[in-house]
Amino acid sequence: MKGIAEIGFSQLLAAYVFLILLLVMASRQGIDKEKEIIVSALRMTFQLVLMGYVLVYILEFNSLLLSACTLFLMELFAVKNIYSRVKVEINPRLRRVIVFSMFTGTVTPLLYFLLAVINISPWYEARYFIPIAGMFIGNSMTGVSLGTERLIDSIKTKRELIEGALMLGATPKQAAKIAVNDAFTAAIMPTINSMVGMGIVFLPGMMTGQILSGISPLTAIKYQIAIMLGVLGSVSLTVFMLVRLGYKTFFNERAQLVG
């Protein structure tokens, strides 16, 4: 079976035609987003090239310490991106909840996945550890961003309803339930929706990459199913902890809504 086709520098430059196409369309439509588009493309390119060189080094040494440090940095950047993505103010207590949810909600499923699902030895094998961690963290980051924004918005828009429930004797958990459920649903739906069209409407990137590298489509499919279920578990656990702990940051010790 043939190996993956190499992409040369000139061929890579040819792919930037799609970026130029977007810039032209944005300009023709009068959408003033050219700067953001260019910055995002340059940032993506720089980050991926940098990560490529870092991964060469990490894969060569295959050290638990290097893998753990890489995971820690990925988590930090994910949390930073969540703070910048959410367009509403995040109170300090909720920021701490976000950090706890991201670290716990991604590391726990990652370790289970490596030890029980793939069952590799050593379990910190970098060529599995880093890419799978990236998929778990990236999808969880999106879920937490959506969940945080929706939770804050729901608490604010339903403030009178929540305060009315508190006056009637409801606990903060009972009063905030509608906002918590709303945030949880909004956060996990993108992951569920992507699963619905997977395989028929589109082939996921990891599966496509494996097929291009010469791996049997059936093997690639098994990996993709396992990865997607792992992502679902990571997103669900992360968002669940976020909303179940996050709503408490809007109440004081006397069960009064202060957010």
Residues 94-118 have pLDDT tens digits of 999 999 999 999 999 999 999 999 9
Q: Is residue 190 part of a domain?
A: yes
What digits encode the pLDDT tens for the residues 123-155?
999 989 999 999 999 999 999 999 999 999 999
Same domain? 16 vs 130: no
Domain hosting 1: range is: 1-61
Count of domains observed in the chain: 2
Average pLDDT over every residue of 229-243: 96
Query: Is 47 in the same domain as 93?
Result: no
- Classify residue 53: in a domain, yes or no: yes
DSSP state of 135: H
Q: Looking at the domain assignment, is residue 76 inside a domain?
A: yes
Q: What is the largest distance, in Å, between two alpha-carbon atoms of the chain?
A: 70
Give yes or no: residues 55 and 84 share one domain: no
Assign 38 to helix, strand or coil. helix
Query: Above 70 in pLDDT, residue 259?
Result: no
Domain co-membership, 11 together with 136:
no
Does 157 lie in the same domain as 86?
Answer: yes
Burial track 28-42 (b if 16+ CB lie within 10 A, e otherwise) = eeeeeeeeeeeeeee
Contact between 232 and 195 (Cβ < 8 Å): yes
83 shares its domain with 155: yes
179 and 189 both lie in a single domain: yes
